[in-house]
Structure 1
Amino acid sequence: MQHVILGAGPAGVIAAETIRKHAPADRIVLVGDEPEAPYSRMAIPYLLIGHIGEEGTHLRHTAGHFEALRIERRQGRAKGIDSGRKQVHLDDGSSLAYDRLLIATGSSPVRPPIAGMDLPHVHSCWTLADARAIAQRAAKGARVLQMGAGFIGCIIMEALAARGVELTVVEMGDRMVPRMMGPTAGGMIKAWCEAKGVRVFTGARVEAIEANGSAMKVKLAGGPTLDADLVISATGVKPNIGFLKDSPIKCLVGVLTDEHLQTTVENVYAAGDCAEAFDIVSGKTIVSAIQPNAADQARVAALNMVGRRAVLKGVTQINVLDTLGLISTSFGHWQGVPGGEQVELTDRAAGRHLSLQFKDDVLVGCNSIGWTEHVGVMRGLVEGQVKLGEWKQRLQRDPTLLMEAYLASAQGQGARALVAPK
């Protein structure tokens, strides 16, 4: 049996190792499009801060790890799939035959249509090559402008601030982290960042970037022109699925999968940031680009690829973010659902905010800032779809009673409720 895995990120590596564990005689080919050892993009900010070296970003640290497991590594990028002949066509003109195929191609940064994006000191912060270029330019006191203040943008911002740069952030949304936080929470994060010395423009966009000697001029639409030594684009990501456009593999936002992570074509599976899987909380398929989901999906896909039936229990909609020391969280339908109810509690002086969203007597989503002691409980209630009964009214009167509500309501509802970690 020959397994081809497209993508050498966390999903691809975990899938390859899982296949080897259960199919010791099968051939495994792991295809990555970068000339690097398999690494984690989420470790790049820690590299920029200086907490780790490049080797610290590597997914596996033992020398000869992949060779010992007889996992063949190959550099290349998929250009197309012939599912009838069971072949993957690569960008060097070669092809790989497969019996089972895993699409774990991840995602790539969105490139905004802005004049000047091709200038030498404009970068995404997505690859080790990007990190090397940013590290050279982002010295203490350098003027850095970052486009985007979403989840990934805030993680990058943390690393830049730690390097001592003069940082300006430009976000098109009306608040920071607009896809994770409501207006109150997003505004609180902005105020926190400004108090830490970061200049933040929300409801703003970059119109053009122009060279200015060794630096740049960055023009904001309807606003000022800012000087910058380095511009970083963190305006979101999109699944790497363009090579599937002429194949029968169905794609929506990502590659559509069933509960076994199989695509609409037999013997072809998908996992990670490019996969669209069923979310039990929302009742629909979603792309959830977080590493724990990638790992779960990779294991389930790999087990099915070797004939061991496995089912994905669901996609986790979790975001826990540290923005310059301010911890915020988002679970499930944090923005609420039609016909639902909500309650909010805000203490700006203490830097704490809690927003709970209900549908009938179930907590379907929540936001929090500075409420770290309740993170596990929030996840347990939302993902477990715990029926609160009379505790819904109690939470509407006092949202801080989450632990009490969990203990009283979840314990008698068995498997649907998750055990809330501390």
Structure 2
Amino acid sequence: MHYDLIIIGNSAAGLSAIKTIRAFDKKMSVAVFDKEAESAYSRVLTPYYAGFDTDKDHLYIVDKSFYAKNGIDAYLGDEVFRVDTNKKTIYTQFDTYTYRYLLIAVGAFAKQSHIKHEKVLTLRNISDADKLRKLFSNAKSVAALGAGLVSLPTLSHLKDDVKKHIIVSSDRIFSQVVDKSASYILEEIFKDKNVFIYKHDDVESIKDNADGSIKLSLKSNHQIDCDLLLVGKGVVPNVDFLKGEIETDKGIIIDDFCKTSAQDVYAAGDCAQGRDFVTGKSVIQGNWITAVEQAIIAAKNILGINVAYDGSIKNNTTEVFGIDVAVVGYNKDDAQNIEFYDPGRFFYRKLFFDESGFIIGATLIKDTNDAGLYYNLVKTRTKIDIFHNLNQFMNYPKFLSKLNYR
């Protein structure tokens, strides 16, 4: 069967591409393929579901009727295992299909641990969340390897009386997400949350206990008795099935039009590697907003609406142990920065700016509703002195007096 457009992937990017195409063109023949037999859902909410803070129904963004209503042939549960860009053909476990245009939005898969055991799990999809939810139901102690955007939010949704062990190879939690100061503030918050942190450490072996739990032996010689180990060591773009067909690095290389090296093939989302708005470097941003933005750009170019993407911006918001955390743009400590911290409220704001004074990023802890403001400051290349003089940091008039910024 032939389609004008085939979309591989049914998450943020795939769904946004469908909506954009149908906003301009009601007749284009479109098919979407995904290895999961699920309607599009929010991966961001899977920790809430695994930890019993929401029901499965609340994960879904659309129901299965969405596809038919929009004239989309949905092959959900039919995985694409090969693409031939010369023949413009995709191969699935059930059939072959040809395309005029192809959008690859297959996302990424969770990095696996070298430790193999039925109670060593990752969290990337609904199936993973189902397994975790079952084990969490009677858990008294849970360990996590890695302290990033999967493991920390997931642990934070467990009951207060559950012991939570966090094992990190670095010197701090959230090391790939926030700056050092923010990491240490969060660690302070965790002290009364039944959380135990093991730094510069790793799991070396695992064995079964007589009561059905497992015992982890760490590099530091510590031992942890727990009911399961959650591995949260990042993700790997799902690009292996494209080798030899499309130029890849860590992800699929795309230009500013979200085009790949293959004719009429585009990519978006967690599998796509494109220009960072702040640094200009080729990166995989790995966040929902970037996936949506790239998919819109790709879809418009497929429709013949010539539009370029001005680059992705890091943009992550999450909740850990009742505290909102948000990061926008570039937030590494090698950049010039100013910060404000109210320890009584655990309220933290840190702004990063370049040598020319342009705001390039921000870290926020608690009450992060203003994250969109900082995103726009980065996007509009606002200068730090203009923002201070005009806005006085909105509702934070004490900010400047504490900073002594000149």
Q: TM-score scaled to structure 2, two decimals?
A: 0.88
Name the counterpart of 2:151. 153
Please say if residues 147 and 174 of structure 2, whose CA atoms lie closer than 8 Å, have aligned partners that are also in contact. yes
Verify: 1:121 aligned to 2:122, yes or no.
no
CA distance in 2, matches of 1:350, 1:107: 36
Q: Which of these residues, 342, 346, 355, is aligned with residue 351 of structure 1?
A: 346
CA distance in 2, matches of 1:53, 1:289: 25
Please say if residues 353 and 371 of structure 1, whose CA atoms lie closer than 8 Å, have aligned partners that are also in contact. no
Name the counterpart of 1:227. 225
Tell me the amino acid that sits aligned with residue 253 of structure 1. Answer: K
Paired residue total: 392
TM-aligned CA deviation for residue 161 of structure 1: 4.1
Please say if residues 340 and 349 of structure 2, whose CA atoms lie closer than 8 Å, have aligned partners that are also in contact. yes
Verify: 1:402 aligned to 2:393, yes or no.
yes
Shift in alpha-carbon separation, 1:285–1:403, aligned structure 2, 3 A: farther
CA distance in 2, matches of 1:374, 1:67: 38
Name the counterpart of 1:341. 336
Shift in alpha-carbon separation, 1:4–1:377, aligned structure 2, 3 A: closer
Verify: 1:30 aligned to 2:32, yes or no.
yes
Shift in alpha-carbon separation, 1:18–1:363, aligned structure 2, 3 A: closer
Taking the TM superposition and a 5 Å limit, the aligned residue runs for 1:10-409 are 10-61=12-63, 64-74=65-75, 75-90=77-92, 92=93, 94-114=95-115, 117=116, 119-161=117-159, 165-213=162-210, 214-247=212-245, 249-337=246-334, 340-359=335-354, 360-370=356-366, 372=368, 374-389=370-385, 401-403=392-394
CA distance in 1, matches of 2:118, 2:230: 11
Provide the secondary structure at the position in 2 that maps to 1:46.
helix
TM-aligned CA deviation for residue 389 of structure 1: 4.8
Shift in alpha-carbon separation, 1:245–1:192, aligned structure 2, 3 A: same
Tell me the amino acid that sits aligned with residue 353 of structure 1. Answer: Y
TM-aligned CA deviation for residue 140 of structure 1: 4.9
Greater shift in the superposed pair: 256-265 or 42-51: 42-51
Provide the secondary structure at the position in 1 that maps to 2:158.
helix
Provide the secondary structure at the position in 1 that maps to 2:249.
coil
Tell me the amino acid that sits aligned with residue 342 of structure 1. Answer: N
Provide the secondary structure at the position in 1 that maps to 2:383.
coil
TM-aligned CA deviation for residue 80 of structure 1: 2.5
Q: Give unpaired runs (5+ residues) of structure 2.
A: 397-406
Greater shift in the superposed pair: 130-139 or 45-54: 45-54
Name the counterpart of 2:400. none
Tell me the amino acid that sits aligned with residue 73 of structure 1. Answer: A
TM-aligned CA deviation for residue 70 of structure 1: 2.4
Please say if residues 333 and 366 of structure 1, whose CA atoms lie closer than 8 Å, have aligned partners that are also in contact. yes
TM-aligned CA deviation for residue 316 of structure 1: 2.2
TM-aligned CA deviation for residue 177 of structure 1: 0.5
Q: Deviations over 1:143-200 (max 9, x none)?
A: 21111111222221222347x5322121222111001222221111112112222222
Shift in alpha-carbon separation, 1:84–1:141, aligned structure 2, 3 A: closer
CA distance in 2, matches of 1:182, 1:68: 45
Greater shift in the superposed pair: 69-78 or 271-280: 69-78
Q: TM-score scaled to structure 1, two decimals?
A: 0.85
Please say if residues 326 and 364 of structure 2, whose CA atoms lie closer than 8 Å, have aligned partners that are also in contact. yes
Provide the secondary structure at the position in 2 that maps to 1:235.
coil
Q: Deviations over 1:370-416 (max 9, x none)?
A: 36475344333322211345778x89xxxx943499xxxxxxxxxxx
Please say if residues 161 and 167 of structure 1, whose CA atoms lie closer than 8 Å, have aligned partners that are also in contact. no
Q: Deviations over 1:92-121 (max 9, x none)?
A: 27322111000000011011223xx2x222
Tell me the amino acid that sits aligned with residue 229 of structure 2. Answer: V
Please say if residues 181 and 330 of structure 1, whose CA atoms lie closer than 8 Å, have aligned partners that are also in contact. yes
Tell me the amino acid that sits aligned with residue 393 of structure 2. Answer: L
CA distance in 2, matches of 1:187, 1:259: 37
TM-aligned CA deviation for residue 241 of structure 1: 0.8
Tell me the amino acid that sits aligned with residue 361 of structure 1. Answer: G
CA distance in 2, matches of 1:199, 1:169: 6
Shift in alpha-carbon separation, 1:346–1:304, aligned structure 2, 3 A: same
Q: Deviations over 1:208-264 (max 9, x none)?
A: 2222242211111123111111211111111111111121x2222221112221112
Q: Give unpaired runs (5+ residues) of structure 1.
A: 406-422
Please say if residues 353 and 359 of structure 2, whose CA atoms lie closer than 8 Å, have aligned partners that are also in contact. yes
Q: Deviations over 1:264-317 (max 9, x none)?
A: 222000011111222222222221111121112112211222222233233121
CA distance in 2, matches of 1:59, 1:404: 34
Tell me the amino acid that sits aligned with residue 9 of structure 1. Answer: S
Please say if residues 331 and 379 of structure 1, whose CA atoms lie closer than 8 Å, have aligned partners that are also in contact. yes
Shift in alpha-carbon separation, 1:245–1:358, aligned structure 2, 3 A: same
CA distance in 2, matches of 1:65, 1:352: 41
CA distance in 1, matches of 2:337, 2:384: 14
CA distance in 1, matches of 2:330, 2:55: 37
CA distance in 1, matches of 2:48, 2:345: 28
Aligned-pair identity in percent equals 24
Provide the secondary structure at the position in 1 that maps to 2:378.
helix
